[in-house]
Amino acid sequence: MTTKKLVQIGMLVAVAFVLGYVEALMPISLGVPGVKLGLPNLVVVVCLYECSPSQTMGISLARVVLTGLTFGNLSMMLYGLAGGALSLAVMLLLKKIGKFSVYGVSIAGGVSHNIGQILVAMTVLQTGLLAYYLPFLLAAGCVAGAAIGLAGGMLVRRLHGMFGE
């Protein structure tokens, strides 16, 4: 990995971290308790299109861990890791298939992030009753994913090729 690429990755992690801080300061619930817009995921969406899959995974992992350690706690980090991992896997797959736009990939990422989090919550709390919360989370994931996809699509068009080696 070149020095330039390493600096670019560091900048992307820093931007995601700052967006996590901004989101922690502004409680946007989208009408559903515990739901956030997912501003740091904007960086992940851009990375999907401008970085390699391994670099995107590393940036996503660093973002969740740093944000969790700084602004959250261990359980928040566990939920973030589960949601982030499922979301990233789904987005990587849909991008690879090539039949979805940035918006579609982002919406699927938002929805799958919430599915990952609810699955962890059901496991930790040992109850399937949380599944009743899933329709609200899916709706919130669609709204957040669409907003992040819209912004991410604009950034990908403007930054296309900027992060190439």
- In one-letter notation, the amino acid at residue 94 is L
Structure tokens at 41: 């995921």
pTM, rounded to two decimals: 0.91
Higher pLDDT: 47 or 159? It is 47
Q: What interhelical angle do 134-159 and 41-50 show, nearest 10?
A: 50
Mean pLDDT, all residues of the chain: 91
**What is the reported pLDDT for 153?**
94
Residue 26 pLDDT level (bands cut at 50, 70, 90) = confident
102-159 pLDDT, tens digit per residue, is 999 999 999 999 999 999 999 999 999 999 999 999 999 999 999 999 999 999 999 8
Contact 35, 23 (CB under 8 A): no
Per-residue pLDDT at 15 exceeds 90: yes
**What is the reported pLDDT for 139?**
92
Write down the domain spans for the chain: 3-159
Question: Residue 87 contacts by C-beta under 8 Å, 6 or more apart in sequence?
Answer: 41, 44, 109, 110, 112, 113, 116
Per DSSP, helices labelled H in the chain are: 3-25, 41-50, 53-71, 74-97, 102-125, 134-159
Residues in the chain: 165
Residue 97 pLDDT level (bands cut at 50, 70, 90) = very high
Per-residue pLDDT at 7 exceeds 90: yes
Per-residue pLDDT at 164 exceeds 80: no
∠ CA 8-97-153, nearest 5°, is 45
CATH number (1.20.20.10, 3.30.565.10, 1.10.1760.20, 3.30.9.10) of 3-159 reads 1.10.1760.20
Question: Residue 86 contacts by C-beta under 8 Å, 6 or more apart in sequence?
Answer: 112, 113, 115, 116, 119
- The percentage of residues in the chain with a pLDDT greater than 90, rounded to a whole number, is 73
Structure tokens at 104: 């579609």
**What is the reported pLDDT for 162?**
74
Torsions phi, psi for 16 (to 5 deg): -60, -40
**What is the reported pLDDT for 165?**
52
Contact 23, 9 (CB under 8 A): no
